[in-house]
Structure 1
Amino acid sequence: MIRFERVTKQFPDGTEALKDISVVFPTHKLTVVIGPSGCGKTTLMRMVNKLETPTKGDIFIDEKPITGLEEVQLRRSIGYVIQRIGLFPHMTIAKNVSLVPRLLEWPEEQTAKRVDELLKLVGLAPDTYKERYPLELSGGQQQRVGVVRALAGNPNIILMDEPFSALDPISREQLQDDLRKLQQEIQKTIVFVTHDMDEALKIADSIIVMREGKIEQVGTPQELISNPANDFVESFIGLDRINRQRSFGERKLKEFLGVFAENPKEGALQISGEATIDEAFTEMEKSGYSFLQIIDGGKTLAYANDRDLVKAALRKEEAETV
């Protein structure tokens, strides 16, 4: 868990980038930080690995203050993915991915095994890609390498600073899907900065909405859609988007099977495919279950969590506006 306690950041020119911020990034969840340009979202993220330091306040990781931690050691323990990808062009993909394990002095055999398993995890066959150089890969492939390089040292925390914003729409959507699937496997604490609300609603477990150095609202995608905290949050999400997604609440679950998971989930709550999305959200909230097992006539059709339901609405919206 990452916790900010009354954190303020004032730059030498007097600009106050963060104003008395107190917030928690939950463990093993993907938290998106979003807001207009200059709202302080990147500054907030960069404080986690001490690329920026607070003027006032404290930051804790697992309830331990990071103030006394040595910067290099802290940064090597935290994965970091940036918009520009940042792969070293003169290094092979294998050497790029293995950078942190080598700095941590892992044994060569362990490092090589880690490189192979990470490349497989993002659909890049090691025998095909690990001896290639970054410029021999597409932009989407390079960004996949950037993501697994951040995972190579097996950090508990990963910071992602608008990592997909420079990609074309098709590659970006695919990487968003890949990130969600990857997070289900690796269960890391991820802080993801973006300015794209559709991206935030699609991938986030929790969303932090910022404006002018302050936090306007923290909530799940569904909570933001259902109950925007104020006029700013409502306008930033977009009233049209809110109304369209609310209207999808009346659609039946069986209409969205193509975007739900097929793999079984333990401890899922059974619900009929005839139930609406609104009814599904209500049942999940009442039961405390994280996943729904969608059934029809005793047959399992798919599995879905609350994020999948929001994602289904987004996909439906995209299809009907084409």
Structure 2
Amino acid sequence: MIRFDNVTKRFPDGTEALKEVSLTLPAHRLTAIIGPSGCGKTTLMKMINKLEKPSEGEIYIDEKPITDLEEVELRRSIGYVIQRIGLFPHMTIADNVSLVPRLRGWAKDKTDQRVRELLALTGLDPEVYLERYPLELSGGQQQRVGVVRALAGDPNIILMDEPFSALDPISREQLQGELQNLQREIQKTIVFVTHDMDEALKIADTIVVMRAGQVEQIGTPDELVAEPANDFVRNFIGTERIERQRVFGEKKLKEFAGLFALEWSGDAQKISSGATIEEAVLELEKSQHSRLAVVDEDRVIGYVSEHDLLRAALRKEEGAVG
């Protein structure tokens, strides 16, 4: 658990990046911090590993004040993923990923096993990628390696500063999904800074909305959509997004299998049966097809159109799922 107690950050020119912020970030959950440029979200995150220090107030990790912790050791114990990735171009992927475990004095066999496990876990075959160099990888692959490097030392906390914002939309969406799957397995405390509300709503367990150095609202995605604290939060989320979330919710496609057409003679974009109705709507909007093929364990269980998705949403609204 990470706790901010009445934290203010004042820069030498008098600018207050944070103003008496008090909040708790839950352990073993992914918290997204979001807000307009200059709102203080990155400053807030950087205080967790002492890249920025408070002018007033205190920060606690598991109820221990971080002022008592030595900077270098604290940073080695916290994973950090940045937008620019930051891999060392002259070092192989194996050397990049194993950097923190080696600095922490891990045995070579333990380090090598950890590196291989994490690469495989993020969809990068160790036999293919271990001896490659960063410039031989695509942007999405490099960012996967950045995530693996942050996890290599087995930290309890991982900080992610807009890690996917420089990627193309397809790579970004893939990595968002992979991060969700990874978090279900590793259950780390992740603090994820983003300016993208769709990203926050998709991946976060908790969302912190900031403006002008202060917290406007903190809650689950559903709570923010259902009850925005004020006009700023409502406008930042967007009325269209709120309405779409309220209608389509988080129900999975497989819960509405009875509404699907079992046959379709035309082309259809594939989508997992574990996707939500909202995700299916967005996928259909991007697709050039009129239907989606819903896939469960590599088997197509049905085909859905925009009309079918609306029917499913209405069933959900009425409480008559199935």
Instruction: State the TM bucket, normalised to the shorter chain.
Output: 0.7 to 0.9
TM value normalised by structure 2: 0.82
> How far apart in 2 are the matches of 1:165 and 1:231?
26
Alpha-carbon distance, 1:76 to partner: 0.2
> How far apart in 2 are the matches of 1:218 and 1:313?
22
Alpha-carbon distance, 1:248 to partner: 2.0
Checking the alignment, whether the CA contact within 8 Å between 1:198 and 1:314 is kept in structure 2 is: no
2:102 pairs with 1:102: yes
2:136 pairs with 1:130: no
- What are the Cα deviations for residues 83-128 of structure 1, in whole angstroms up to 9, with x where unaligned? 0000000000000000000101111111111110010010111011
> How far apart in 2 are the matches of 1:319 and 1:126?
35
Q: Which residue of 2 aligns with 1:298?
A: none
Q: Which residue of 2 aligns with 1:284?
A: none
Q: Which residue of 1 aligns with 2:22?
A: 22
- What are the Cα deviations for residues 126-145 of structure 1, in whole angstroms up to 9, with x where unaligned? 01100000000000000000
Q: Which residue of 1 aligns with 2:219?
A: 219
> How far apart in 2 are the matches of 1:273 and 1:212?
43
> How far apart in 2 are the matches of 1:153 and 1:239?
42
> How far apart in 1 are the matches of 2:217 and 2:156?
25
Map of 1:229-244 to 2, 5 A cutoff?
229-244=229-244
Q: Which residue of 1 aligns with 2:74?
A: 74
> How far apart in 2 are the matches of 1:137 and 1:320?
30
Checking the alignment, whether the CA contact within 8 Å between 1:2 and 1:62 is kept in structure 2 is: yes
Checking the alignment, whether the CA contact within 8 Å between 1:244 and 1:317 is kept in structure 2 is: no
Map of 1:10-49 to 2, 5 A cutoff?
10-49=10-49
Alpha-carbon distance, 1:313 to partner: 1.7
Alpha-carbon distance, 1:318 to partner: 4.7
**SS of residue paired to 2:84:** coil
Checking the alignment, whether the CA contact within 8 Å between 1:217 and 1:233 is kept in structure 2 is: yes
What is the number of residues matched between the two proteins? 275
- What are the Cα deviations for residues 274-299 of structure 1, in whole angstroms up to 9, with x where unaligned? 89xxxxxxxxxxxxxxxxxxxxxxxx
**SS of residue paired to 1:209:** strand
Q: 1:154 to 1:180 in 2, by over 3 A?
A: same
TM value normalised by structure 1: 0.82
Checking the alignment, whether the CA contact within 8 Å between 1:245 and 1:314 is kept in structure 2 is: no
Map of 1:1-322 to 2, 5 A cutoff?
1-249=1-249, 253=251, 256-257=253-254, 273=256, 312-320=277-285
**SS of residue paired to 1:67:** helix
> How far apart in 2 are the matches of 1:188 and 1:155?
8
> How far apart in 2 are the matches of 1:2 and 1:190?
10
Q: 1:27 to 1:142 in 2, by over 3 A?
A: same
Q: 1:145 to 1:321 in 2, by over 3 A?
A: closer
**Letter of the aligned partner of 2:176 in structure 1?**
Q
**Letter of the aligned partner of 2:278 in structure 1?**
A
> How far apart in 2 are the matches of 1:126 and 1:4?
39
> How far apart in 2 are the matches of 1:233 and 1:321?
27
**Letter of the aligned partner of 1:193 in structure 2?**
V
> How far apart in 2 are the matches of 1:35 and 1:129?
36
Alpha-carbon distance, 1:319 to partner: 2.4
**Letter of the aligned partner of 1:92 in structure 2?**
T
> How far apart in 1 are the matches of 2:187 and 2:273?
18
Alpha-carbon distance, 1:317 to partner: 3.7
> How far apart in 1 are the matches of 2:205 and 2:24?
13
User: After TM superposition, which residue ranges in structure 1, 4 or more long, deviate above 3 angstroms?
Assistant: 272-275
Checking the alignment, whether the CA contact within 8 Å between 1:160 and 1:193 is kept in structure 2 is: yes
| Structure 2 residue runs without a partner (length 5+) | 259-271, 288-322
Q: 1:17 to 1:226 in 2, by over 3 A?
A: same
**Letter of the aligned partner of 1:230 in structure 2?**
N
> How far apart in 2 are the matches of 1:247 and 1:59?
39
> How far apart in 2 are the matches of 1:313 and 1:221?
13
> How far apart in 2 are the matches of 1:105 and 1:207?
36
Alpha-carbon distance, 1:314 to partner: 4.0
Checking the alignment, whether the CA contact within 8 Å between 1:17 and 1:40 is kept in structure 2 is: yes
Checking the alignment, whether the CA contact within 8 Å between 1:122 and 1:178 is kept in structure 2 is: yes
Q: 1:194 to 1:142 in 2, by over 3 A?
A: same
> How far apart in 1 are the matches of 2:22 and 2:100?
31
